[in-house]
Amino acid sequence: MIGQRITKLLEAKGMSVAWLSRSSKSQKSFIWDVDKGDIDPQALEWADAVIHLAGAGVADKRWTASRKKEILESRTKSTSLLYQAIEAAKNKPDVFISASAIGYYGLDTGTTLVHENSNPGNDFLAEVVKAWEEEVKKMEQLKLRTVMIRIGIVLDAHGGALAEMLKPPVAAPLGSGDQWMSWIHVEDLANLFIFALERTTLQGVFNGVAPNPATNQELTQEAARAKGKPYVGLGVPAFALKLVLGEMAAIVLGGNRVSSQKIQKAGFEFEYPELKKALKNIYS
């Protein structure tokens, strides 16, 4: 979802974009297989920059032991494979921009406004993000400008959180509905990655969230209104979510209130800083 938007925007600027893929696609691509540790060496000789978005979806399947391993290794192994390929390349890229996640701060940080220097959490997803970022930081040893974007809840009509929240016939908050959701319009997120690509002084970790987080209840109600869907204020009980989702229920029952100040101070301007404007655009 994010990669397609970034590709479209970069090609509109006249840049050439190739994907790393398990199989050849209509889009220009180079073959790689993370499980086998294989990658076409020409990919890194060809590229001036790498945008790394690969990783198994954290909410796609129930968190069994094998699924947890897949969530972790899809990120750490893919990053390690890219490191090895860049290290071996004669003509190295100039910049490495990687996705990360606000899960770094923990599944539930309450009402505290967290920023890039806040302490990490100690739950499963926080441990995944910490291990992922440690692999990405190794790129700095290769003299690459390295940027990590800790992505929040991405709003898009065709995938991600919104599609799941509005799937039932009637929209309703989850649990208490008071938990914070640090969201970002998919277009702003794609532009943020391009900003990181083009702003050659940018380096380090940045939160990929809009300036105005919302509670789960606010986001659900506004999304239902924008889509023209019925809404009820009675929340889906936490125990029911835990029965259905198991440990993964903590993703929707917890929340984070995350600051966007650092990336704004660096010069990035959000097109959709307000939730109502973002949802109106998505469902127009």
Q: Which CATH number is associated with domain 2-283?
A: 3.40.50.720
Inter-residue long-range contacts of 6-14, CB under 8 Å, 24+ positions, other chains counted: 6/51, 6/190, 6/193, 6/194, 9/190, 9/191, 9/194, 10/194, 10/197, 13/194
Predicted local confidence at residue 88, as pLDDT: 95
Give the pair of three-digit tokens for residue 119.
């302490």
Note the pLDDT tens digit of each residue in 93-145.
999 999 999 999 999 999 999 999 999 999 999 999 999 999 999 999 999 99
Q: How far apart are CA 181 and CA 228, in angstroms?
A: 21
- Given a cut of 50, the residues of the chain with pLDDT beneath it are none
Q: CA nearest 233: which of 241, 243, 225, 245?
A: 225
Task: Please name the residues in contact with 58: beta carbons below 8 A apart, sequence gap of 6 or more.
Answer: 71, 101, 103, 125, 128, 248, 251
Q: Which of 190, 98, 195 is nearest to 144 (CA)?
A: 98
Please name which of 117, 94, 112 lies closest in space to residue 46, comparing C-alpha atoms.
94
At 59 the pLDDT is 86
pLDDT computed for residue 163 by the predictor? 85
C-alpha 86: how far from chain center: 23
**Amino acid letter at 71?**
I
CB 71 within 8 A of CB 61: no
Residue showing tokens 């909410």: 59
In sequence order, what are the residues at sequence separation of 6 or more whose Cβ sits closer than 8 angstroms to the Cβ of residue 127?
A: 72
Angle at 38 between CA 15 and CA 87, to 5 degrees: 65
Question: Tell me, what's the pLDDT at 11?
Answer: 96
Of 168, 206, 186, give the one whose Cα is nearest residue 3. 186
Q: Please provide residue 150's backbone torsions phi and psi, each rounded to the nearest 5 degrees.
A: -80, 100
